[in-house]
Amino acid sequence: METVADGPRRILEEKDALIAQLEQRVVDLDLRCQFLETAGHDGVLLWKIGGVEQRIGDARESRIPSLYSPPFYAGRYGYKLCARVYLNGDGDGYGTHVSLFFVVMQANGDATATCLSSWRHEGHLRPKIAPREPEKSPHF
């Protein structure tokens, strides 16, 4: 049997569920905005890795061996890429070097089965490591 207080309680539960859905939508939209802000279409990736000392420690202890950058594009109609960095090295560089790889990703509108044997990238990939304080470095 429904009491007089059950009606408002049910309305509040429905409103709470709606608020939770809207909060999730805000989080989703925030992630999309972050992607659009960082996804360059000019072949340039500016990737700031925060907490580098902690992340190097995590890599040395094999907790988090690699990090992925946000995606970017090789050009306006170019390939979708991301960078993958191993702060404690990978392969022959393990424990002595930082290893950096570029990963070709499937973009919206790409075929589901991509054949990279015919992949051609006619540009140049020039990774640069920026100093923490660029204004103090005359070479950056």
Q: What percent of the chain has pLDDT over 70?
A: 77
pLDDT at 129: 75
Q: 110 vs 58, which has greater pLDDT?
A: 58
Q: What is the mean pLDDT of the chain?
A: 80
Angstrom distance (rounded) from CA 128 to CA 64: 23
Please check whether residue 67 is in contact with residue 84, taking contact to mean a CB–CB distance below 8 angstroms: yes
Where are the chain's structural domains?
1-38, 41-109
0.85 surpassed by pTM: no
Interval 87-101 mean pLDDT? 94
Give the model's confidence band at 44: pLDDT under 50 very low, under 70 low, under 90 confident, else very high.
Answer: confident
Q: Which fold has domain 41-109?
A: 2.60.210
DSSP 137: -
